[in-house]
Every structure is written in structure tokens, then in C-alpha cells.
Amino acid sequence: MKPLNIGMVGYGFMGRTHSNGYSQANHFFPCEYKPVLKAVCARNKDKAQAFADTWGYESVETDWRELLKRDDIDAIDVCTPNNLHKEISIAAAEAGKMVLCEKPLAMNQTDGEAMCQAVEKAGVKNMVWYNYRRVPAVTLAKQLIDEGRLGQIFHYRANFLQDWTINADVPQGGAATWRLDAEAAGSGVTGDLLAHCIDTALWLNGQIKDVSAMTETFVKERMHSETGKKEPVKIDDACSFLCHFDNGSLGLFESTRYARGHKALYTFEINGENASIRWDLHDLHRLEYFDHNDDSIVRGWRSVHVSDGDQPYMGNWWVPGLNIGYEHTFIHQVADFLKSLETGEQMHPSFRDALETQKVCDAVLDSAAQRVWKEV
Amino acid sequence: MKPLNIGMVGYGFMGRTHSNGYSQANHFFPCEYKPVLKAVCARNKDKAQAFADTWGYESVETDWRELLKRDDIDAIDVCTPNNLHKEISIAAAEAGKMVLCEKPLAMNQTDGEAMCQAVEKAGVKNMVWYNYRRVPAVTLAKQLIDEGRLGQIFHYRANFLQDWTINADVPQGGAATWRLDAEAAGSGVTGDLLAHCIDTALWLNGQIKDVSAMTETFVKERMHSETGKKEPVKIDDACSFLCHFDNGSLGLFESTRYARGHKALYTFEINGENASIRWDLHDLHRLEYFDHNDDSIVRGWRSVHVSDGDQPYMGNWWVPGLNIGYEHTFIHQVADFLKSLETGEQMHPSFRDALETQKVCDAVLDSAAQRVWKEV
Amino acid sequence: MKPLNIGMVGYGFMGRTHSNGYSQANHFFPCEYKPVLKAVCARNKDKAQAFADTWGYESVETDWRELLKRDDIDAIDVCTPNNLHKEISIAAAEAGKMVLCEKPLAMNQTDGEAMCQAVEKAGVKNMVWYNYRRVPAVTLAKQLIDEGRLGQIFHYRANFLQDWTINADVPQGGAATWRLDAEAAGSGVTGDLLAHCIDTALWLNGQIKDVSAMTETFVKERMHSETGKKEPVKIDDACSFLCHFDNGSLGLFESTRYARGHKALYTFEINGENASIRWDLHDLHRLEYFDHNDDSIVRGWRSVHVSDGDQPYMGNWWVPGLNIGYEHTFIHQVADFLKSLETGEQMHPSFRDALETQKVCDAVLDSAAQRVWKEV
Amino acid sequence: MKPLNIGMVGYGFMGRTHSNGYSQANHFFPCEYKPVLKAVCARNKDKAQAFADTWGYESVETDWRELLKRDDIDAIDVCTPNNLHKEISIAAAEAGKMVLCEKPLAMNQTDGEAMCQAVEKAGVKNMVWYNYRRVPAVTLAKQLIDEGRLGQIFHYRANFLQDWTINADVPQGGAATWRLDAEAAGSGVTGDLLAHCIDTALWLNGQIKDVSAMTETFVKERMHSETGKKEPVKIDDACSFLCHFDNGSLGLFESTRYARGHKALYTFEINGENASIRWDLHDLHRLEYFDHNDDSIVRGWRSVHVSDGDQPYMGNWWVPGLNIGYEHTFIHQVADFLKSLETGEQMHPSFRDALETQKVCDAVLDSAAQRVWKEV
């Protein structure tokens, strides 16, 4: 068993999902490498220590620059708000550490490009936590597409719908709500939610050529946790866009935090000449599949309960019919990363992969601001 | 176009569904014969006349015996409460009329046997309105079974769940609630609802060998519309039973009017060696189908939207994707009856077919009363 | 009973749905007026006669101008391909006939405006067959919105997905496939399918301000039924658009005939501050409803089976739990039109209402052609 | 942090789910106690060691009697086939160990009674792993019932459907298929699957009074892994029963391994006067809830996505909308057991609770064998 010594920066929601991934991967996926939780780093020492106690981190740091200096750390996991991804990732690469960065990669394409160059120049392993690629049903979708079952693709549509910011009393800024603060988050739903939809789309359906987008900020001012005053809201509450893919298919994407009744409804549907696929995160263990080759009188959407041993990742879990959940996507990503260390193959999504998503996000925001079609 | 002159006895809910069937059949199903609404018969002349005006009956009668004497009537449609089926049907047969009788056939097996003998002796066309056989999805289920797609059958389960009598203020007796009065209805859910489940089951899965049943009457007394007083309730509010089919499969049936949340949820599911089927009346246009021969990674229950031209009856309706509803089962039954007049073939379900259902109902009620297994 | 004498032009799919509406309305909805099927008009006399025989039209005409001259006709029903709507409707109005025109109203806004002026100048009753307003679940949605249950609206999304033209061997032109011929249809999915989505949206959510659209023609050439040769396809196979509504909400619309697995899937979803609603035509008897005021631990989307007596139109049909289908929307529209004759109130959607939909369609097609946002 | 030293006997499927529970409980549920994986015991030392390496057990034993002698063990977890539960549990109790026993408690009521007496006499903590009580949606159902939301209960129905033994080539006996061997398993689906349904039912709906059951063994002979020969199959492949609950409601239960299309479909539905509830394991994160008090025009089954912080257990997991899965039921059971050590309260289900389920199972098997109603 070879150790992979982890130093994590941040300890929020994503800090928990990643820590769980490190703890669980080797219980289910036999790997030569095994993560060792060496240190967690955060400005508030008490909170960092409490987190370390819960998850079994061996030590805490309060300055990420100190963490980077430590010889006993192999990989830096960047779980901070978006505005810190660039600086920490580049410094980590320069320190020769592997870099595992939360999504979105960067605040914008320029920053993202600099981050790619840094990891590539340093030759360090890198990946971005676009975890939804590793929902078994989504991985199965990729497999079906790669097998050519869909034929020519006509349509790709995706959305990511939430409703948690309808209440105008939700503040912006601070630990729980930095995603509403443009300073920390860069953008609103575009970088937070649509970025997931775009990453999956590029993976499943190839490059996007051009976009026409529309954004909206429904609540114009919110109390800022740091200033204690009402401040203008500068992020996008909702964003939708039309697009063309390189393969000739049409795309339709939407994201919002104002869709009453949806907690975290990420869905996509792909319509091909011969078959169609759809999936949604609220029932993430099911893949809906329509095969036009089925005998016509009994043709219909199949609700595939993805829990069998021959379906992606599921052979390592329980028995048919028994579901796994959200957190397992991170366990899979850790396991796949560990395997990439064994095989020496490039892990995906890499920084470079994530930069493609960043480009689309930038084009979307530009298109919305200027009310014109934008090439990606 | 040859006329089929109809004389209907009764004008309640079933009077409407049948009248609609007669009015609509030839609009959608080209037939040599065409129903002509000659007369409707009911004790209350005003109500009968109003019904005749709405549906276009040419005349009204107030005594069904007079109706039977008329030469201009070919077929008697018996839409009365259950306790009148026997007398009217036998008299109609003896008068040489075709007899189209509402379900259940009779108050019990003995009466049913007498009715069968009457129509058979008279050699008159006969049928019973077990309309659910002619939901396109149900007819499709029959077709799939007949094609041998399911293989050996292991399980058949069905239920019919309603919730309209939970309120203890619902009375018994009278035009709207005669189904709660044992005098008029014979039994409660057994004859009203389970009879439908049993008819379908015998059609799809063959004979039932033996049963073990349980009945319950939750509300023990209800106001009687005729006496104006609280009277003991003598019908079964709920009934469920276990059974063995001749083909070796196990059956499980349940019916109740105390299943809060279900208006008229008739469902069945059949599990075979190679495939399974399920259906429910609340979404009657869908057949759920599972085919074990599907490629394992994309195997799942298919939700078949039964609205295509190659699915039963649907080629005569609209275009794919557009639903028909409940009333169409009666239109189909009329159309099939008209065709049987052309071809001379026996229409199903006949009185004799319906007697088989009656036998099972009797065994079920006996089993429940005696708390023993009963042979059918 | 007052007669409403109908003269119908055309006898295709819509000719059947309208004729059924006329035949059935008075069976279920007590009205002072009653349609009388006086004449059907089509160039092919034999086919017209066969249609008349099926539905009980008293006579046939082969020239619609002759039909307009007849004194025994009160209302002209225009069921022709789109390119004839204008001429016939205007002439009918000028002849003092009521005009009941299939949707979309016209080939474009200019024609539509002329048609509005004609019926208004003549002072004749008029309506357009946007039938989906009268699906009981859709009417219920309108009622819930009018009661203010949703609060401020944030999002409206709708799509209409079909898959019947994926096969490149489907021809254009002719009786069955005139919808693929720009000459006869004007546009493709925009006028055929999106027009339905837009009519409902304007009714439920108010005016649309501006649009950004994208269209595509996947199959560039198809055999033309009239020339017998491959001809360029000039209609839109797919169309999607972003928009802003006057009430500040964002809209997203999509339509295509290349969505494998969907026969006629018209869906919409409306997200309000306090509640959300969604509906789809494949299960047209259900309204999905989410109410944020529900107790949080049991809050969830409700699947409302719209079949109770207190839900729109359903009190006139069967009993709770029993579905009606697609054709009933036309029966409801006829019944409501008959009632409007009694009350003297304006029937909706009128020509003027339908013109608003036409304006949006034109803006959508212009936006797609020019790749710019267009004001409506 | 106080250690709870675990010694586990067995390392199969349940060994994995329990070990995961011990590993994960303190990551999510703050507890004073923390499980320490001291030893795993199995006859095959190499396999035991491999299991210990994967899960971090500190040592291995090959004789459970030796395990019981160790002073460094606080609790014995019995994960063996059913026929060993009794001997090990009683010996563990006598050795003063806490006993955490897999379900079903015993091979029959007599053995179960002896086990109860042993733990009670020894005064040791005990519990049985009926894990489904701790699916958040199921725990929520219990909460809703305890709050009195359902009113008088009329019906309880449950089934547990699988399809993995349809193939007659599946052997009996041995590590993977001991559940088909009556010697090791005691019964078939009754003890394996129905026992789960019964445990939940007794918890949610109270005691069962009497039962009428039917069992079937579809495949009469199977190769035995130990004898290498075809041997008669003595377990029940399918079992269903009718019953009365003490509260006056009617029950209907079914289980089978021959329901093609169902992997592990455990479902239950409860119909009360005022509300109904249903749940199924294939979509375990949803609770279906119908509340008759809802405004009638928008009344319908609510699909409650149980993932909010105010729903049972979910406040300790991720954020609203993100699912947990099957394995979490065991994590919850461990966490609750740890808390019971803090509070000193009796953990449920205890051996005594599980004995009640055993009584029903015995009555069911007796009823089926004798074809009579049996009191429990």
C-alpha cells in the first residue's frame, strides 16, 4: 500500500465530500495507493481542528503557504471559494504538489489558462472535481454514447434547478453564502451550476461552438455578511442559453436558484437518431433510456435502475437493487485518481478539460451581457 | 348499414357509458351494423325522457316488460342494479332479444347459471360489460401473453382501490348509493370491483383453483335511503384473497373502498419467467413492460405509451401520443359486438365467461365467511 | 334547442376532432344551442361524401365559395392547411358567417391582422382552435394562477417534442405531410407546435417582450409529393428560443420533430415564488403541483389526478378516477362556444388572441434568421 | 471519545455493511462512543485477513469461541448464516458481551425466545439489524404516524420482490447461496425478506393477530454446493399472507424471488382515514404522502424527496436534494446504538422486538403448511 499524502485547504461542504472520498475509496475499490489525511488548512484554527478530529486529519495548518512547504504532503486539495483557486493552485504546482481543485476551475478563462500552464509546466498530476461524471448512471450514459447506440445526435438539453435563494433575506458573503457574493464566486448559477451541466455536455457530446444567453438577477440587493449592509447583488440568479455543438446538434441549457420545488435538480436529455437518454440528480440511480430498435408495440422509455454488477462502479458496492447516493461520486473520483497514479494515465477531468468549460461559461456571460451570439 | 335496435333498461352511470358507446362506435370503427337508440326504460318517466333527450333515444318506456314486447327492439341492454339482472335477462332471452348485461352477471353463481342457460337455450347473442378488457393497454397485455413473451407465469397480483365510502355519512340504498345496500348489490367490493380484477385475470392467466379470502366491513351501520334509518351494513367494504391458478402461478387480489388517496386505482401485475407486465387504470394509456431479454446494462421497466397505430384499437383513433380515456372501452366493446354480428363469432365476455368470474366471487365470499380455503 | 348550422371546410385529422366535438358536446354539456352538421366541403367529392357518411353531415360541397353562399349555414369551420386560412376566413366573415379557424391563425402577422379586421368589421363570432387551453389540468392551472397561488413568477418553460420526421424518407407535401411543405404550412415546428406552447403561455403568463431564437433543418431535402422529386426543405425542423415576459419572468421554449422517444410531448412548467406547476400532454390528466406552504417535512410535488367533479369540466364526465383524453379538449371548446352564443360573451381564443401568438411566432422566426434578439 | 470494541463473526455481505457503519458513523453523527474494529472472525483465515486489511480490523480469529474470550472486545456482531445466530448470541451474552445480531433473529420462535432470555439474563445490550427502520423516509413515516396524521388505519400492504433465483441453475448452499439451503437459512423468503416487511409493519402499525398464508417452491431441486448433487429445495421461493392487525386494519404481505423485473423492491403502503403513505426501496429517498386535508382541487400524492435538514437523519448529511443510499441505514443504526450507550436507553429493535417478528414468521409458515388461519 502506497500512501498518497493529502493536504486540504478549506473544510466546508466540499471539504466533507472530499474527505469522505479519501476515507472510503479503498474500502470498496482495491488500489495500490491509499490516501492519508495529513493536514487540513483553514484560517480558523479551532474549526480546522474540529474538522480534523472528525475526519482523522493528522494535523492542522492556518496558512496554506505553510502547508505547501511541507515535505510530507503529496497532493493539495483546493476546497476554497472560487477566488482563491488560482493563487493556491499555481503555488501548489510550483511547489511540485499534485493539485486537486474544486470546480469551477477559475474566476474566468484567463485565470484558468494560467492555472493550466502552471500544472503543465510543473508536470504535476491535476484534476478538477466535476463529480457528476462519476454518477454510475452518467458514466453508463457515456458508455452507451461511445458504443454508438444513439447515432447522430440532434438535441442536448440540460438544466440545474434550485430554489434556495428565493427568500430575499438570504444574505450574501460569508461561509455559508459566499456563492451569492460575486467577489468570492465570480458568477452565480453560471459557475456554480451550469458549469456542471457544461462539463457533462462537453464530455458526452463534444465541443460547443456558439451561444446565445440570458441572465437575470431577481433580488437586486441583499445584506452582505461582511459589511452588514444591503449591497447590490452582482451574481446571476438565473441563466439560460441556446447553443450549437460541433457535431451539429442543438443545445439548450438553463440554471436558476428560483425554481420553486426543485432542491438540486440537475437533469440532461440527449436525443439521437436511434436512441435517447435522460437522467436527473434527484433520482440519480436511474437512467432513462429509449431505444427505437425495440419492437414497436412495446417500445417505451426504460427506467434503468443502475445498481447491477455490470454497470459502472456498481460491482464494487452492494447487491442489485440497492442504491448508492451523492457522496459516492467523490469516492469514485478518488478511486479513479488513485488508479491513474498506478497506471500513469492522465486523470479526467484535468485542469485543461475544465478550462473548456470555463470558456463556455465566459462566452455565456458575455453573450448575456451584450445580447448577442458569442463564439466559444 | 344495418340497424341494431337498442332498448336500454336503466339510465344511471352505466346507461351513460353504454349510450356513448352506441353513439360513437361507428364514427371510429367502420361496421356493417349501426346501433339505433330506440328506447330507454325506467320507472321515472320524466327522468327517462330527459335521458332520452340527451342521448337521442327515440322513445321511453316505464315498464321493462313492455319494452321486451316491442318488435322494433333487437337487443336489451341491462343497466339496472345487480338484483334485477337475472329476471330481466332471462325474460329478454325468452323474448328472443340479444342481451347485453352489466357486470357482475348475477347476485350469485346459481342465478348466473340460470341466466346462461336462458340465453343459450334461446340461442340469443349475449355479452357482459366487463369493459376493462378493451383498454388498449390491457388488450396489448393479452396479445403479449398470447405471443408467449412472458414464459412460465409465477405471479399475478391485482387490486382495485377506492376511498369514497370512508365517510360514515355516505348512506346506503337509493340511486347513487345502491352499491352499499346488500339487497340491491349482492356484495360490496367483491362484486363491484374484484369482479373486474377476476374477469381480467381469468382472461389473461386462466382458471383459478382455490382461494383463501378475508373481508371486512369498517362502517357497521349507515343511514338507509329508503327506510330513512340507520341500518346494518351487510356488504363487504374490503376484500382480499390469496389463490392458486391452474397454470401453477400464485395470485393475490385486493379491493377496498377505504384506501385513502385512490379514486379508482385498478392495477395488475404479471410476473413471468422472461418478462413482466403491469398496468393501472389511473394512467390507463400506459403499459409497463419489463423484458429480461434486453441487454443487461440497459434493462429496465419500459413505460409504453399505448397510442400508436399498431397497438390495439389505436389505429382507429388519433395520432401517436394522443390519449383516449375510460369511455372508449365501451366504444370498443360496442364496435367488437357489432363486428361479431357480421362475422357470426361469439362475442366475449359472454354470459358463460362471466359466470366463471361469478364462481370465483362466490368462493371468495364463502372462504371469507368460513375462514377456510375454498375450491372454485 | 337552437341549431347552430355548421359548414366545415376540410376533412383531415382536424376535421375529425371538430366533428367529434360537435357530435358530443350536447351529450355532456347542457346547452341551449346544438350544432347541426349541415355540410362538409372538400375538392374530392368521394372522400367528402365518405366523411359525411361517417359523421352524419347532411350534404357535401366541393367548392368552399358555394358553401359560403348557402343560407342554411351559420358557421364556417376552417380545417384546411394554413395557406388557405386567410382567404376562406375573410370571405366567410364577409358572408356574415361565424368563423371557427384551425390554428395557427395565419401564415404570418400581416395576414392575421387582415383576418382580425375582417371578422371585427363584419361583427361575426370567431374563435381559433387552440384546444389545449381546455385540457382540464391546463384549465386548472389557469385557475390556480388567477387565484394568486403562485405569487411572483420567475420562470416559464415549455416544449413540444416529437420524433416522426427523423426518417429522411418521409416526404413533403400532400394530404398527410403538408406540414413539411413551407408553401402550405408557412413554417415547420414554429407554427405547428410552438404556436400551441405560445398560446398557452400568453394565456397563463401574459405577454412576451422579446425573443432570441435558433432554428434548424436537419434533413435538407425531401421528396415532394407533388413534384415527385427531391426538393429543398424550407420549414424549420426544430426551433428553440429564450424570452422575457412582461411580468419579469424568463421563458424558455423548444420544439422539434427530432426528439427520439417523444410522440407528442407538450409540456410546460411555471415556477412562482410560492408554488410551481407542471403538466405534460402524454399524461394529460395529471397536474403536478408544488406548494411551498405545505408543512416542510412532507412537502413535495403533488401528482393531481384531474378527474374530480370540482375540477374544470370533469363534473360533466364520469366519476372520480376515470380519465378523459385528447379529443375532449375539442368537445369542451365546442361546449364553451355554444355557451358564448347564449351569454353573448366573447369566446376565447378569438382571432385577436391568436394574432398575439402569431406575432411571437414571427419574431421567433425573424430572430433565428438574423441571429439577433427581436422585440415582439 | 470512548471506544466500543467490536468483534465481528462473519465477513459476507452483511459484514461489509456493518463494517462500513462502524467506519462512518462518527464522521457524520457526533457521538461520545466510537467503534474500534478489534477483530473479525471466520474459519478461513486468509479471507478473514483480507477482509481485516480492507476494513482496518486490528486482528483476525478463526474460532468464534476464542473471540468471546478476549477481554478487549465489548460487542459481538453476529453476521453468520441464520443457523449460527442462536449459539453464538447466547454464548456471547454469557460472556458478558453486547450482542448485535443480524436478522432474522433465529431459526424459529423457540430459539429466539432462548436468545432473548440469554441477553436479558446477562443484562447485555442487544439489537438486531433490521436496518430499514432507519431509511430516513421510513423513519419519517413513523414520525407522521406517531403525530396522528393518518387517523384510523384501514390497510397495510407490503411486499418484497426479487428475481434472482428464477434461473434453475442457481445452486443452493455455500457462501453465496446459503439462503436457498433450508439447513442454513431456516426458511426462504419468509425469514429473508418478509421478516423485513413484518418488522417494519409491527413498528409502524402494531401487533398482528392472525394470518392466512400460502407458500410455493417453484424450482423443486437445485444443485447443492456441498454435496455436489441435485437436492430437493426445502425453502419457500414465494410466500404471501393475509392478516388482521390488533388495531383493526387489514394486512396483505407478499414476498418472492420470482418477480421478474424487481431486484430488491421492498414496498409498503398504509391507508389511514385522513392520510396515506407509501414507500419503496428502489427509490428509497422518496416518501409518497397523500393528505386528504389538502384543498380538494389540488389534492394528490406528494412525492417527498427526503433530503432536507429537518427530515430524519438528513441534517447530518449533505445539502437538500442530495441523496444518500442503502448503506446509510446501517450507519444510522450504529449511530443510534452509540447514542443509546450514552443515554442508557434501550436500543430498538432489540432481541425482544425481533422475537415478535419471528412469531409472525412462524405463524405464517405454519399457516401455509396447514392451509388454515393461525393466531400469532
The alpha-carbon gap from B322 to the nearest alpha carbon of chain C, in Å, equals 6
Q: State residue B85's pLDDT score.
A: 98
Under 8 Å CB pairs connecting chains A and C tally to 104
| The predicted structure's pLDDT at residue A147 | 98
Closest-CA residue of C relative to A289 is C261
Q: What is the pLDDT of residue C259?
A: 98
- The number of C-alpha atoms within 13 Å of D244 and in the hemisphere containing its C-beta is 17
Chain D residues 229-248 with a CB less than 8 Å from chain A:
none
* B324/C327 Cβ within 8 A: yes
Does the N-terminal peptide bond of residue B35 adopt cis geometry, omega within 30 degrees of 0? no
Q: How far apart are CA A192 and CA C288, in angstroms?
A: 28
- Looking at residue A71, its pLDDT comes to 97
Q: Which of A179, A180, A13, A185 is nearest to A84 (CA)?
A: A185
Phi, psi of A240 (to 5 degrees): -135, 155
Question: CA of D336, closest CA in chain C: separation in Å?
Answer: 21
Chain segment B39-96, per-residue pLDDT in tens: 999 999 999 999 999 999 999 999 999 999 999 999 999 999 999 999 999 999 999 9
Report the run of H or E that residue A135 belongs to, with start and end: none
pLDDT of C43 strictly over 90 = yes
* DSSP H or E segment with residue C298: none
For residue D371, give the chain B residue with the closest CA.
Answer: B373
Nearest to D258 by CA among D179, D174, D189: D189
D371 dihedral zone (left: phi>0; alpha: psi -120 to 50; beta): left
C324/B327 touch (CB, cutoff 8 Å), yes or no: yes
For the stretch C297-346, pLDDT in tens is 999 999 999 999 999 999 999 999 999 999 999 999 999 999 999 999 99
Per-residue pLDDT, B176: 82
C-alpha A326, offset from chain centre: 12
Q: Which three cell numbers stand for residue D67?
A: 473471540
0.90 exceeded by the pTM?
yes
Domain ranges of chain C: 2-130, 132-375
Contact call for B259 and D154, based on CB within 8 A: yes
Contact B70, B170 (CB under 8 A): no
Q: What is the pLDDT of residue C258?
A: 98
For residue C175, the model assigns a pLDDT of 81
- Per-residue model confidence (pLDDT) at position A308: 97
Instruction: Report the CATH superfamily, name and number, of domain D133-375.
Output: Dihydrodipicolinate Reductase; domain 2 (3.30.360.10)
Tell how strand A98-101 and strand A238-245 pair up.
unpaired
Which pLDDT score, from 0 to 100, does residue D174 have? 85
In this prediction, residue D1 carries a pLDDT of 84
Q: By CA distance, what is C264's nearest residue in B?
A: B321
pLDDT tens string, chain A, 376 residues long: the values are 899 999 999 999 999 999 999 999 999 999 999 999 999 999 999 999 999 999 999 999 999 999 999 999 999 999 999 999 999 999 999 999 999 999 999 999 999 999 999 999 999 999 999 999 999 999 999 999 999 999 999 999 999 999 999 999 999 998 889 999 999 999 999 999 999 999 999 999 999 999 999 999 999 999 998 899 999 999 999 999 999 999 999 999 999 999 999 999 999 999 999 999 999 999 999 999 999 999 999 999 999 999 999 999 999 999 999 999 999 999 999 999 999 999 999 999 999 999 999 999 999 999 999 999 999 9
- Model confidence band, residue C67 (pLDDT cutoffs 50, 70, 90): very high
Interacting residues of A146 by C-beta distance below 8 A, sequence separation 6+: none
pLDDT at B175: 81
3-state secondary structure D236-300: CCEEEEEEEECCCCEEEEEEECCCCCCCCEEEEEEEECCEEEEEEHHHCCEEEEEECCCCHHHCC
Identify whether the C-beta of residue B40 lies closer than 8 Å to the C-beta of residue B52.
yes
**pLDDT tens figures, D153-179:** 999 999 999 999 999 999 999 888 999
Strands D250-256 and D238-245: antiparallel
Q: Amino acid letter at D282?
A: H
Q: Which amino acid is at A190?
A: T
**Residue B154 and residue D273: Cβ atoms within 8 Å?**
no
Q: How far apart are CA B340 and CA B347, in angstroms?
A: 6
Average pLDDT taken over every residue of chain C:
97
Q: Per residue in A272-298, pLDDT tens?
A: 999 999 999 999 999 999 999 999 999
Low-confidence residues of chain D: pLDDT under 70: none
> Do residue C55 and residue B27 have CB atoms under 8 angstroms apart?
yes
> Are D13 and A319 an interchain contact pair (Cβ–Cβ within 8 Å)?
yes
A317-352 core/surface letters (b: 16 or more CB in 10 A; e: else): bbebbbbbbbbbbbbbbbbbbbbbbeeeeebbbbbb
pLDDT on residue C365: 98
Tell me the H-state helices in chain D.
13-28, 45-55, 64-69, 85-94, 109-122, 136-146, 182-185, 189, 195-205, 328-343, 351-370
Phi and psi at D363, nearest 5°, equal -65, -40
| Nearest Cα residue in chain B from D216 | B250
HSE value, Cβ hemisphere, 13 Å, CA-based, for B75: 25
Beta carbons within 10 angstroms of residue B369's beta carbon: 12
Task: Give the Å distances, CA to CA, from A118 to A121, A351, C106.
Answer: 5, 10, 60
Sign of the CA dihedral with C10 first, then C358, C134, and C336 last: negative
The domain D2-131 is placed in CATH, from the list 1.10.1200.10, 3.40.50.720, 3.40.50.300, 3.40.640.10, at: 3.40.50.720
With contact defined as beta carbons under 8 Å apart, do A204 and A142 qualify? yes
Q: How confident is the model at residue C1 (pLDDT cuts 50, 70, 90)?
A: confident
What are the grid coordinates assigned to D25, written together? 458513523
From the CA of D300, how many Å to the nearest CA of chain C?
4
Q: What gap in Å lies between CA C287 and CA C80, rounded to an integer? A: 32
Q: Looking at residue D190, what DSSP letter applies?
A: I
State the cell numbers at B27. Answer: 364514427
The verdict on a CB contact (< 8 Å) between D321 and A23 is no
Between β-strands D2-9 and D33-41, what pairing exists: parallel, antiparallel or unpaired? parallel
Q: Give the closest of C213, C216, C261 to A290, CB-based.
A: C261
Give pLDDT < 50 ranges for chain B.
none
How far, rounded to the nearest angstrom, does the alpha carbon of residue D96 sit from its chain's CA centroid?
24
Tell me the sheet residues that pair with C60.
Answer: C40
Query: Are the beta carbons of A302 and B300 separated by less than 8 Å?
Result: yes
How many degrees, rounded to 5, is the angle at CA D32 between CA D30 and CA D33? 105
The cell for D32 is 461520545
Alpha carbon of D347: minimum distance to chain B alpha carbons (Å): 33
Residue D299 and residue C304: Cβ atoms within 8 Å? yes
Q: What does the pLDDT read at residue B325?
A: 97
SS (H, E, C) chain B: CEEEEEEEECCCHHHHHHHHHHHHHHHHCCCCEEEEEEEEECCCHHHHHHHHHHHCCCEEECCHHHHHHCCCCCEEEECCCHHHHHHHHHHHHHCCCEEEECCCCCCCHHHHHHHHHHHHHHCCCEEECCHHHHCHHHHHHHHHHHCCCCCCEEEEEEEEECCCCCCCCCCEEHHHHHHHCHHHHCCCHHHHHHHHHHHHHHHHHCCEEEEEEEEECCCCEEEECCCCCEEECCCCCEEEEEEEECCCCEEEEEEECCCCCCCCEEEEEEEECCEEEEEEHHHCCEEEEEECCCCHHHCCEEEEECCCCCCCCHHHCCCCCCCCCCCHHHHHHHHHHHHHHHHCCCCCCCHHHHHHHHHHHHHHHHHHHHCCCEEC
Yes or no: say if D66 and D88 are a contact pair by the CB < 8 Å rule: no
Subunits adjacent to chain A (3 or more Cβ pairs under 8 Å): B, C, D
Distance separating alpha carbons of residues D205 and D46, to the nearest angstrom:
45
Chain D, 281-310: which have a CB under 8 Å from a chain A CB?
Answer: 281-286, 305, 307-308
Determine the 3-state secondary structure of A108 from DSSP. coil
DSSP annotation of D235 reads S
Q: State the Cα–Cα distance between residues A241 and A255, nearest whole angstrom.
A: 9
Q: Report CB contact under 8 Å: C260, A292.
A: yes
pLDDT per position as a tens digit, B314-343: 999 999 999 999 999 999 999 999 999 999
d(CA C160, CA C158): 7
**Contact list, D317 vs chain A (CB under 8 Å):** 327
Sort residue A314 into left (φ over 0), alpha (ψ -120 to 50) or beta: alpha
Residue B174 has a pLDDT of 84
Kindly give the residue spans of alpha helices, DSSP state H, lying in chain A.
13-28, 45-55, 64-69, 85-94, 109-122, 136-146, 182-185, 189, 195-205, 328-343, 351-370
Reading the block at residue B366, the C-alpha cell is: 364463502
pLDDT at C221: 96
Give the separation between CA A57 and CA A60, rounded to whole angstroms. Answer: 7
Which chain D positions have a beta carbon within 8 Å of A284's beta carbon? 323
Residue B291: φ, ψ to 5° = -120, 115
Q: Hey, what CATH class is C2-130 in? A: alpha beta
Class of domain A134-375: alpha beta
Instruction: HSE, CB side, 13 Å, CA atoms: give it for residue B363.
Output: 20
Cβ <8 Å between B296 and A305: no
pLDDT above 90 (res C176): no
Q: Which amino acid is present at A295?
A: D
Cβ distance of B292 and D256 shorter than 8 Å: no
CA dist., res. D11 & res. D19, Å (int):
9
Q: Any chain B CB within 8 A of the CB of D166?
A: yes
Q: How far is B307 from chain A (nearest CA, A)?
A: 10
- In the sheet that holds B75-78, the strands lie side by side as B59-61, B33-41, B2-9, B75-78, B98-101, B126-128
Q: CB count, 10 Å around CB of B2?
A: 12
The CATH label, of 3.30.70.890, 3.40.50.2030, 3.30.360.10, 1.20.950.20, for the domain at C132-375 is 3.30.360.10
